[in-house]
Chain A
Amino acid sequence: MTNVLEVNNLKLYYYTSKGVVRALDDITFSLQEGETLGIVGESGCGKTTAGLALLNMPMPPGKIAGGQIIIDGQDIVPLAEKEMRRHVRWQKIAMVFQGAMNCLTPVFTIGKLMMETMLEHKTMKKEEAWHIIEKYLGYVGLPAGVTKRYPHELSGGMKQRVVIAMALFMNPKVVVFDEPTTALDVIVQCQILNLIKKLKLEKALLSCIFITHDLATEAEVANRIMVMYGGKIAEIGTNQQIYSERAAHPYTKKLLAATPRLHQKVDHLSFIPGAPPDLLAPPTGCRFHLRCEVAMGKCSAQEPPLIEIEPDHKVACWKVGYKE
């Protein structure tokens, strides 16, 4: 398997008036072809920042402070904005933004919005563009008639489908989904997850990154899961490794235990006391040690590196994988 995306030592800092917020601090991961990588974590852990960084468009005052993002053999970090727009964004990597379905311009029809996206990224005849639009509408399960309708005439689920279709137009190598199901009702949420699975089976969607705070939806789509905490990777593992007793990082275990399950009556849900770290002044050592039940002396002094404890399974914790 080849890597379509490689991220090496990526650093993204927000230069605010109060100081430097280290939203992504030395992140290294890769995405294989045909794979779905899930990124989970609490709000403020840097998961959306990571998604935006992959398209090389950090939100101001953020800047990529170092590292590489290699898509299809090319490092996109040093590329100029014009180059990014012309050749990388949407051609190689596309994104479904959080709440994008509510950002469709209300005065344009869906057809016009879609046409705009097509012509912006590729020089082609209008008939050709219509042909592609119809093909992708079919993929996401919408009738061709929606092109004549306005965004307010569609329901949340339909708008989300439109946005997903628009991300797929240029046949990108990687699609980043940022919380695509968060604002939707359970039934619609399930339908959108089904759609993503179906697109992968039909090979309309190749590799993707699925960002969410919800471990339960992640279990449905992601082959590998990356758990982030305070701008760092806490654990990366396969679906089987994370959703079983093999989950190794104390944070991952706690998150799993805090997720209520439908078919299991528990009297006491566990939770993680305290609040996520302030990234303006992150705690020394392991960023989780203040909320960790098994923390020891070393945890507050030295930062644990991400080490491989079994094939495809990496953890950053002094308690795991080290012998005394």
Chain B
Amino acid sequence: MPDNILEVKNLTKWFPLRRGIWQFLRGQQRYARAVDGVSFVIERGEILGLIGESGCGKTTTGKLIMKLMEASSGEIIFNGENVTHLRRPELQKYRRSVQMIFQDPYASMNPRFKIRSVLQEPIVIHSLGRSYNEREAMITKALEEVKLMPATDFMSRFPHMLSGGQRQRAATARALILTPSMLVADEPVSMIDLSTRAEILQMMKTLHKELNLTYLYITHDLSTARYFTDRIAVMYLGKIVEIGAAEDVVEKPGHPYTRALIEAVCEPVTGKLDLIKHLPIKEGEIPSPANIPKGCRFHTRCIHAKPECWEQAEPDLIEIGNKHKVACRRYNEIK
């Protein structure tokens, strides 16, 4: 088997915008470029964090990889096999190996299903367990893996009878029941209380070791990403602007955007009252993905931008050492 479990090459997803009558008659079409040329690889057994603000395309990327959406162009290669345009029944086989944990554990489970039925659904869809006892054993095993014990007790509960943390565990069990090799976790802890957040992350980390899983961890929260991931990719307006080992990205950020993000993170330490933080970023908003700036897409908010940044073509990811890549034309000057 290849070293890279997943390879994403130049992936794009353009959503067509609604057009007016004149645009329709002239045959014009504008797009919101939610994901605009994303490439990365995930090694087997690795945890990659995909980080960005809302609207940067991180969730769309996750959905494209899960094949919940069809990519506009680009390739997704899983275990050496191109899965970009899979159709059933091959798609079903692919989904056995790649499963997803959703952000909101309150919305991602049918409220009228007991936990047993919630976990049984994937088994039935993929026609796995043949007998009742076999299915029951699979469900018990999955629940025990996520430490929802005693499993028989939890099986006969409804989702509303569980706390947020327990629900997210049940959602993880549902993903694990098909023994996938990769999990896409879309903000799995952002809806969970602080006191249990660490518990869920800890559990996911234990599973990662025990079951030799690979994770794509999608989040907006740099602090948990630093704790949880091996590598971090930072997205801005549909493109990766920096990727590297978690430690390198956090401690030696290369891209001006990453620097601003890191500067903006609050930490629970004293002595910051009355201290106004000056973020190394221009005031203003993220441009709309329907109207991405020319040249480097960050130049409208970058404090280091020079005419070359918007006159020349978009910068590619260049290596600055130790597999740490940055998409900034002026990286050497602003170091």
User: What residues of chain B lie closer than 8 Å to A218, measured between beta carbons?
Assistant: 268
Q: CB of A191 within 8 A of chain B?
A: yes
B267, A262: Cβ atoms closer than 8 Å: yes
Cα-based distance from A189 to B221 in the complex (angstroms): 12
A187, B279: Cβ atoms closer than 8 Å: yes
A273, B199: Cβ atoms closer than 8 Å: yes
Interface residues, chain B, with chain A CB atoms under 8 Å away: 53-54, 163, 165-166, 193-199, 201-202, 220, 222-224, 226-227, 247, 250-251, 260-277, 279, 281, 283, 285
User: What residues of chain A lie closer than 8 Å to B271, measured between beta carbons?
Assistant: 239-240
A193 to chain B, nearest CB (A): 7
B269, A186: Cβ atoms closer than 8 Å: no
B267, A186: Cβ atoms closer than 8 Å: no
A189, B270: Cβ atoms closer than 8 Å: no
* A and B contact pairs by CB, cutoff 8 A, 29 listed: A187-B261, A187-B264, A187-B279, A189-B264, A189-B266, A191-B279, A194-B276, A213-B193, A215-B268, A216-B266, A216-B267, A216-B268, A217-B266, A220-B266, A220-B273, A222-B273, A223-B273, A240-B271, A260-B224, A260-B227, A261-B223, A262-B223, A262-B267, A263-B251, A271-B196, A271-B202, A272-B199, A273-B199, A276-B195
B149 to chain A, nearest CB (A): 13
A168 to chain B, nearest CB (A): 18
A186, B268: Cβ atoms closer than 8 Å: no
- Are A269 and B202 CB-contacts (below 8 A) given A187-B261, A275-B163? yes
B270, A215: Cβ atoms closer than 8 Å: no
B278 to chain A, nearest CB (A): 9
- Are A260 and B223 CB-contacts (below 8 A) given A213-B194, A271-B202, A275-B165? yes
Given contacts A269-B201, A271-B199, 13 further A-B contacts (CB under 8 A): A42-B195, A155-B285, A194-B276, A216-B223, A216-B266, A220-B266, A222-B273, A243-B270, A258-B195, A259-B194, A261-B267, A265-B227, A272-B199
Q: Which chain A residues in 141-197 approach chain B with CB under 8 Å?
A: 155, 157-158, 185-187, 189-191, 193-194, 197
B194, A215: Cβ atoms closer than 8 Å: yes
What 1/0 flags go to A215-233 for Cβ under 8 Å of B? 1111111110000000000
A194, A214, A242: most-surrounded residue (chain B CB, <10 A): A194
A190, B195: Cβ atoms closer than 8 Å: no
User: What residues of chain A lie closer than 8 Å to B224, measured between beta carbons?
Assistant: 260
User: What residues of chain B lie closer than 8 Å to A222, measured between beta carbons?
Assistant: 273
A214, B199: Cβ atoms closer than 8 Å: no
B279, A190: Cβ atoms closer than 8 Å: yes
Cα-based distance from A187 to B262 in the complex (angstroms): 9
A186, B261: Cβ atoms closer than 8 Å: yes
Q: CB of A198 within 8 A of chain B?
A: yes
Cα-based distance from A101 to B56 in the complex (angstroms): 21
A257 to chain B, nearest CB (A): 8
User: What residues of chain B lie closer than 8 Å to A158, measured between beta carbons?
Assistant: 285
User: What residues of chain A lie closer than 8 Å to B276, measured between beta carbons?
Assistant: 194, 197-198
A244, B223: Cβ atoms closer than 8 Å: no
In the complex, the chain B residue whose C-beta lies closest to that of A154 is B285
User: What residues of chain A lie closer than 8 Å to B197, measured between beta carbons?
Assistant: 258, 271
Cα-based distance from A263 to B246 in the complex (angstroms): 11
A243, B269: Cβ atoms closer than 8 Å: yes
- Are A265 and B53 CB-contacts (below 8 A) given A187-B264, A219-B272? no
User: What residues of chain A lie closer than 8 Å to B251, measured between beta carbons?
Assistant: 263
User: What residues of chain A lie closer than 8 Å to B195, measured between beta carbons?
Assistant: 42, 254-255, 258, 271-272, 276
User: What residues of chain A lie closer than 8 Å to B193, measured between beta carbons?
Assistant: 42-43, 213, 276
B198, A271: Cβ atoms closer than 8 Å: yes
B198, A258: Cβ atoms closer than 8 Å: yes
A262, B262: Cβ atoms closer than 8 Å: yes
A185, B226: Cβ atoms closer than 8 Å: no
Q: CB of A256 within 8 A of chain B?
A: yes
Cα-based distance from A201 to B275 in the complex (angstroms): 10
Q: CB of A270 within 8 A of chain B?
A: yes
B227, A269: Cβ atoms closer than 8 Å: yes
In the complex, the chain B residue whose C-beta lies closest to that of A246 is B270
A194, A260, A271, A273: most-surrounded residue (chain B CB, <10 A): A260
User: What residues of chain B lie closer than 8 Å to A43, measured between beta carbons?
Assistant: 193
User: What residues of chain B lie closer than 8 Å to A271, measured between beta carbons?
Assistant: 195-199, 202
A289 to chain B, nearest CB (A): 15
Q: Which chain A residues in 231-290 approach chain B with CB under 8 Å?
A: 239-240, 242-244, 254-256, 258-263, 265-266, 268-273, 275-276
A220, B272: Cβ atoms closer than 8 Å: yes
Cα-based distance from A185 to B166 in the complex (angstroms): 27
User: What residues of chain B lie closer than 8 Å to A255, measured between beta carbons?
Assistant: 194-195
Which 4 pairs from chain A and chain B are nearest by CB? A271-B198, A271-B199, A243-B270, A269-B198
In the complex, the chain B residue whose C-beta lies closest to that of A266 is B227
Cα-based distance from A263 to B250 in the complex (angstroms): 7
- Are A260 and B198 CB-contacts (below 8 A) given A194-B276, A219-B272, A265-B247? yes
